[in-house]
A and B are shown apart, each in its own frame.
Chain A
């Protein structure tokens, strides 16, 4: 079965550079969430969202956190951990949610979203291990980012 890629010409047309930027961003987020690259259709929808819903950082800390996520790898892990617990309306969290929504609605990734994690009889242990790793990531992220977050909040340059 062929999936049509249907990018639309919208009044808020994005530049080619911006489109490539979003494609790279989407690839990083998709790999981070489910470990696979998105399909061209999924990336087209991700870019489409930004045409019809222009979003950006709300403040300097939000921009900093999003910039950290752009490093991929450890940067994205730390940004995700921090935003999940301590900065829940952040731009990086919004984009991760958008990415997840597209992944869960379309093939082949919806199967990955639906499938229970490995663990079987030891599911509680694997979940606990996940939580411990997440706690470590959050601790590292908080040590690194919380002072900056507080600084921007105090100087009223944080957008949340």
Chain B
């Protein structure tokens, strides 16, 4: 694989591929739309201090035009993305997409979607990697390498059976009172709960419990949802900045890659892009092209390239994790004051093994005590004043389990491209159908979750459990699966896209299966593995 290595996308996979390539002495050019992160406001202040001291706190928390305000009638989520993270989901003008059965979220931010992630860093075990052309033993060194780069905290506990422990994990963060109580209650009832197939333990999260590589440990400012001001919670922009300091790295933001051109020998020659401001065409010769823009945008670039070469096709096998939000109230926490200075994202996780390792169901337990309360208060079926009075007593008792289900590749779920015509740009078409029997399987599993929570003294009202629309988890994968031996438009074990000689996919496109765990840590490890493997040849 020759230089220059042109990487498209600055998300979790792009930056770790680039970092690895730079460590190997290669020359890397990164093309990126790269909407920048806004400057951090009051970086040392806790959330409540911000409320007290900002000149315009309503604009900060709700938006200049109240775009983060959730009003009655908006039944989609229990919390909206704050204005400080609006740049992550800022739309790219002219980027056209049509979906059926799927509500995709795309990011064109510098750092990508993981700029708004919750830090879950759960390694896949051997059973979950069964469909992959490698197992835990081959992937572990790259989990370790990424853990060293980003910093992960966690603990050895009952979840270790499902989350293999690896070197490079710092000790766990301090638990909030609520999370500590849940864990303690679980400890007392462990035998019974485990017999029912449920296991509770500490989350593995990319948040520092100790200072690491120039970043400070979490100081519990309570601002996780609003954007960690101290970079204790890792985001890919940290690695992007690290790459940008390297003399062999050239970062070109403000550029949208449209397609690549290749010759009769299936060698990619150049990549064509458009400047976001001004629309000027940009053409770059490439030695090796690495698509790491996320499964949907990367697929679009490939489909556009094939279409222009008269070789249009569809890409089957799109996967995403189904997610269900299950709010609950811990009856033992009712009336307690809530802690604004605590870690806000999932402190605990739930593991529910299935008949096969891939059937494992993963739950993330979040307390979100500093999330805005108005979206939750309005869900109570009483007047606003009564709802607020009740809520003030249950605020510290509230929790949310985000239940994640695995997905499998199915030919019915596919990506295609509607070519440009009559002055209209081309359009990515997304088609997704859930697996037959999914509603019943989910119903049974969610009933088990409610029973598990009840065993810990937590009530999860059935009417408040919500399935997120398909696509909401943003764990898109599977359109160019890694196979030892495969046909054209699959990838080999180091991400090279057949039949091309010098085209690599480093993102979730390459996953042949999608376990229930948050996949970002595995994406980063796999991108690192792909870089070391593909560039060594």
Contacts and interface: CB of A to CB of B under 8 A. Distances in A.
A33 B388 contact: yes
B463 interface: no
A80 B384 contact: yes
Given A4-B55, A123-B335, 4 more contacts: A100-B377, A116-B396, A117-B392, A134-B383
Contact of A134 (B65, B382, B393): B382
Q: Closest 7 CB pairs between A and B? A: A123-B335, A84-B383, A80-B383, A96-B384, A134-B386, A105-B61, A101-B374
A124 B384 contact: no
B461 to A, nearest CB: 15
Contact of B57 (A106, A123, A124, A134): A106
A80 B335 contact: no
Given A130-B390, A134-B383, A98 B48 contact: no
Nearest to A108: B52
Given A84-B384, A105-B57, A116-B396, A130 B389 contact: yes
Contacts of A124: 334-335
Interface in A94-111: 94, 96-98, 100-102, 104-107, 110
Given A94-B71, A119-B335, A34 B388 contact: yes
B393 A114 contact: no
A74 to B, nearest CB: 13
Contacts of B57: 105-107
Interface residues of B, number: 44
A119 B340 CA distance: 21
A52 to B, nearest CB: 5
Given A45-B58, A106-B51, A110-B51, A100 B384 contact: yes
Interface of A: 1, 3-4, 6, 32-34, 42, 45, 49, 52-53, 77, 80-85, 88-90, 93-94, 96-98, 100-102, 104-107, 110, 113-117, 119-120, 123-124, 126-127, 130-131, 133-134, 137-138
A120 to B, nearest CB: 7
B393 A88 contact: no
Contacts of A130: 386, 389-390
A1 B382 CA distance: 37
A2 to B, nearest CB: 9
B226 to A, nearest CB: 11
B280 interface: no
A116 B337 contact: yes
B388 A100 contact: yes
B423 interface: no
Contact of A110 (B48, B335, B381): B48
B72 interface: yes
A84 B382 contact: yes
B387 interface: yes
A117 B389 contact: yes
A81 B73 CA distance: 17
A100 B374 contact: yes
Contacts of A85: 381-383
B372 to A, nearest CB: 6
Interface string B34-63: 000000000000001001110111101110
Given A4-B55, A45-B58, A131-B386, A100 B373 contact: yes
A43 to B, nearest CB: 11
Q: In the complex, which of the residues A81, A113, A131 has the most CB atoms of chain B within 10 Å of its own CB atom?
A: A113
A33 B393 contact: no
B137 interface: no
B49 to A, nearest CB: 10
Interface in B391-424: 392-393, 395-396
Contacts of B395: 114, 116
Nearest to B379: A88
B213 interface: no
A89 B73 contact: yes
A130 B372 CA distance: 23
A125 B293 CA distance: 55
A110 B386 CA distance: 17
Given A34-B388, A105-B62, A97 B374 contact: yes
Given A89-B72, A110-B51, A130-B386, A102 B337 contact: no
Contact of A97 (B53, B72, B337): B72
Given A97-B71, A116-B335, A116-B393, A84 B374 contact: no
B66 A105 contact: no
Interface in B350-389: 372-374, 377-378, 380-389
B338 A114 contact: yes
A141 to B, nearest CB: 9
A137 to B, nearest CB: 7
B69 interface: yes
Contacts of B382: 81, 84-85, 131, 134, 138
A97 B69 CA distance: 9
A1 B65 contact: no
A140 to B, nearest CB: 12
A45 to B, nearest CB: 4
A89 B70 CA distance: 12
B336 interface: yes
A130 B393 CA distance: 12
Contact of A113 (B52, B55, B373): B373
9 contacts: A45-B58, A80-B383, A94-B71, A97-B69, A97-B70, A104-B374, A113-B373, A115-B392, A130-B390
